[in-house]
Amino acid sequence: MENIFYAVIGLLDDSAQQVFHELWDKLNAKGLISKVRSDGLAPHITFAIYEGIQEDKILNWVEGFCKKEYQISINFNHMGLFFDQTIFIAGV
């Protein structure tokens, strides 16, 4: 049986997603295929990944956390690759 995990992610606005889709197209043309894209996921920021936690606990925590947060601007200053298919960016 596969381990169940939960990922807490932040989604980007439409214009930022478009920029990343264009970047993925350019990388794909060079033979570098993003696993995130091939899995049909949207560009996102991963905040945490949890295993062995009860679903209701993580959902309640995320709901409470999000009520206190607000939209922010992020600048991305570099990108890299891990596991041969995961393209990442780092923000400041």
- Please report the pLDDT score of residue 86 as a whole number: 75
Confidence class of residue 27 from pLDDT cuts 50, 70 and 90? confident
Cα separation, 89 vs 81, whole angstroms: 9
The pLDDT of residue 1 is above 70: no
- Please report the pLDDT score of residue 14 as a whole number: 92
**Whole-angstrom Cα Rg for the chain:** 15
Q: Which residue has the higher pLDDT, 6 or 35?
A: 6
Q: What is the pLDDT of residues 28-67, one digit of tens each?
A: 898 887 777 888 888 888 888 999 888 899 899 889 988 8
pTM of the predicted model over 0.85: no
Cα separation, 18 vs 3, whole angstroms: 32
Percent of the chain with pLDDT over 70: 95
Alpha-carbon torsion angle 15, 20, 22, 25, nearest 10: -160
- Biggest alpha carbon–alpha carbon distance for the chain: 42
Confidence class of residue 16 from pLDDT cuts 50, 70 and 90? confident
Cα separation, 5 vs 52, whole angstroms: 7
Cα separation, 41 vs 7, whole angstroms: 12
Alpha-carbon torsion angle 55, 52, 11, 25, nearest 10: -130
